[in-house]
Amino acid sequence: MKKLLSLMLTLMLMISTFGAFAETDGVTILITCVGDCTLGGVANHTASSEKMFAKLVDSYGYDYFFKNVLDVFEVDDFTVINLEGPLTTAKETYGKANFFFRGRPSDAQIMAVSSIEVASLANNHIFNFGQAGFDETVQAVTDAGVGACGYDLIYYAECKGVTVGFVSFDQWLSTDSDIERVIKEARPNCDLLIVSYHGGVENTHSVSDAVRHAGRLCIDMGADLVIGNHSHMYSGIELYKGKYIIGSLGNFCFGGNLRPSEYTCAIYRQAFTVYPDGTVEDAGIDILPAQVGSRRNVNDCQTSLITSKYEAAHLFQSIMHLGNFKAGSVKWLDDSFAVKNGLNK
């Protein structure tokens, strides 16, 4: 009897101890971010890349486009892309643009089968076919089971007991007051807040003052990460108040321009540990050198990691050089490109 009582007391103590540990232990969320994705092409054009992209879908299937990076997307909790251009059947263009991008609503399934959980819709092409095109895109994305965010549209998702919020803005339609208003609405409703921002100057590796200002404003308002895009080229990464601001990751799966001025790009990954008291801790980052096609200097819309160790290391070092921090001062993921290749010092 005494032995039984002793065993019961021991078990109760173990349960009590485990419970206390569980209450203070954090939950880790892994986010993968990539750049501009035009799941379609230039509409109403003689040499229409829109038709060429559709032919790729019809010939090779929805899983063709991200199959070479699927193993990266599948191991995270959320993969976030910038969906640059509407998925719509609308025909009437809106506004002034050099190119009007458009994809088919059904091609939202490309994201669904590729372990992409969130699409940022705030960019300078999403209204190429007006409000009708935007609304149809939101419907197509959500019908595919993918979260959509942009402007006043906030997306929340639950993962491991943690609520993650996603918002996105662009330089032309989002004022500082818009950013402040939306983040003030989103921040109390989530444990982790991810912001996408579309802006800057095209075809440059430099981060514009507008992007730097907006990124810092988002961090000041409570964002845990700011993902920038628009320049069609990779740029530096800024560490601001302990949070990262991505200037640009470059084109990723880009049917909008089959001959871009730059074929390289990057995948950014970051793990966050979220504690019960609301504290969010950087659990490590990763920068993966990539290219828009399946081979070097080819855009067949089948994004791939760069396999050449020399070229991959060169791209990684270029991104680090453009940023305001040194590799040795960064907390890297254990399986990061930097750690695997000894570039973390």
For the chain, the domains span 27-340
User: What does pLDDT average to over the chain?
Assistant: 92
Q: What is the pLDDT of residue 46?
A: 59
Q: Is the pLDDT of residue 1 over 50?
A: no
Q: Which residue has the higher pLDDT, 2 or 79?
A: 79
pLDDT band at 131 (very low <50, low <70, confident <90, very high): very high
**Exposed / middle / buried, residue 220 (Cβ in 10 Å: 0-12, 13-18, 19+):** middle
Q: What is the pLDDT of residue 126?
A: 98
State how far the Cα of 30 lies from the Cα of 60, in Å rounded to an integer.
30
Q: What is the pLDDT of residue 8?
A: 42
Which among 330, 146, 169, 104 is positioned nearest to 239, based on CA atoms? 330
**Exposed / middle / buried, residue 284 (Cβ in 10 Å: 0-12, 13-18, 19+):** buried
Q: Show Cβ contacts of residue 16 under 8 Å, excluding neighbours closer than 6 positions.
A: none
What sections of 129-170 are H helices per DSSP? 130-143
Q: What is the pLDDT of residue 24?
A: 63
In three-state secondary structure terms, 10 is helix
pLDDT band at 268 (very low <50, low <70, confident <90, very high): very high
Mean pLDDT within 53-78: 98
Tokens standing for 47? 């040499």
Superfamily of domain 27-340: Metallo-dependent phosphatases (3.60.21.10)
Give the model confidence (pLDDT) of 289-331 as tens digits: 999 999 999 999 999 999 999 999 999 999 999 997 789 999 9
Mean pLDDT within 17-39: 78
pLDDT band at 128 (very low <50, low <70, confident <90, very high): very high
